[in-house]
Amino acid sequence: MTCQDSELRFGPIGPNALHICVDLQRLFAEDTDWKTPWMTRVLPRVERIATVHAERTIFTRFIPARRAGEGHGTWRRYYERWESMTLERLGDEMADLVPSLSFLAPPAAIFDKTVYSPWVDPRFDEMMQARHADTLVITGGETDVCVLGTVLGAVDRGYRVIVVMDALCSSSDAAHDAQMAVYQGRYGQQVETLTTDDLLRHWA
């Protein structure tokens, strides 16, 4: 995992910023086939951001299929491969947020999704608009999967996007590092990157 300090390039963070924390759930934190080993290393940083800005935080949750054979198109094949991660096998409670974050909701909000990107469901953008959001601060996991879907959807819709580099995690160090290079290099006009300390200094 690599990380480098950066400064905001496009001015101060305004009052309409929201914190989108992506999929920090028990099914990724505990001993399952989808465990993200170093979630525990970034979790304290996410906790700091979410605690300071609980009323401006939205937690997304990835909800697996109920049982193998469900899902549209390639998602059906996906859950045949990952039958162990269906709710029937896991139990519904494994889709919950990790305990250190769950107590923040409310006042934080929760948004459930069944695919990588929350933007597929128009109600997610409606939540942003209802809160008059113009800036989205992104944390969570995985950097190269659901976080990527969240970031690209926000970029497409014109939101200012701030990715908190040391508050992201992935099950693949190589994919995490490669995706961070993409955020910092290819999306330089649309994605800003900060560390947790720098974010909290700018977003008081």
pLDDT tens digits for 109-151?
Answer: 999 999 999 999 999 999 999 999 999 999 999 999 999 999 9
| CATH number of the domain where residue 194 is located | 3.40.50.850
Determine the pLDDT at residue 2. Answer: 43
Query: Does the pTM of the predicted model rise above 0.75?
Result: yes
Tokens of 107: 């006042």
Examine residue 83 and state whether it is found in any structural domain, yes or no: no
Number of domains in the chain: 1
Q: What is the DSSP string of the chain?
A: --------SS----TTEEEEEE--BHHHHSSSTT--TTHHHHHHHHHHHHHHTGGGEEEEEE---SSTT-SSTHHHHHHHHTGGGSHHHH-GGGGSBPHHHHTTTTTSEEEEESSS-GGGSHHHHHHHHHTT--EEEEEEE-TTTHHHHHHHHHHHTT-EEEEEEEEEE-S-HHHHHHHHHHHHHTTTTTEEEE-HHHHHHH--
Examine residue 6 and state whether it is found in any structural domain, yes or no: no
Q: Which residues of the chain have pLDDT under 50?
A: 1-5
Examine residue 51 and state whether it is found in any structural domain, yes or no: yes
Determine the pLDDT at residue 3. Answer: 46
Examine residue 185 and state whether it is found in any structural domain, yes or no: yes
Bridge partner list, 108: none
Examine residue 172 and state whether it is found in any structural domain, yes or no: yes
Determine the pLDDT at residue 1. Answer: 45
Examine residue 77 and state whether it is found in any structural domain, yes or no: no
**Structural domain harbouring 135:** 17-65+92-202
Examine residue 121 and state whether it is found in any structural domain, yes or no: yes
Apex 45 CA angle, 42 and 50, nearest 5: 120
Examine residue 10 and state whether it is found in any structural domain, yes or no: no
Determine the pLDDT at residue 5. Answer: 44
Determine the pLDDT at residue 188. Answer: 86
Determine the pLDDT at residue 143. Answer: 92
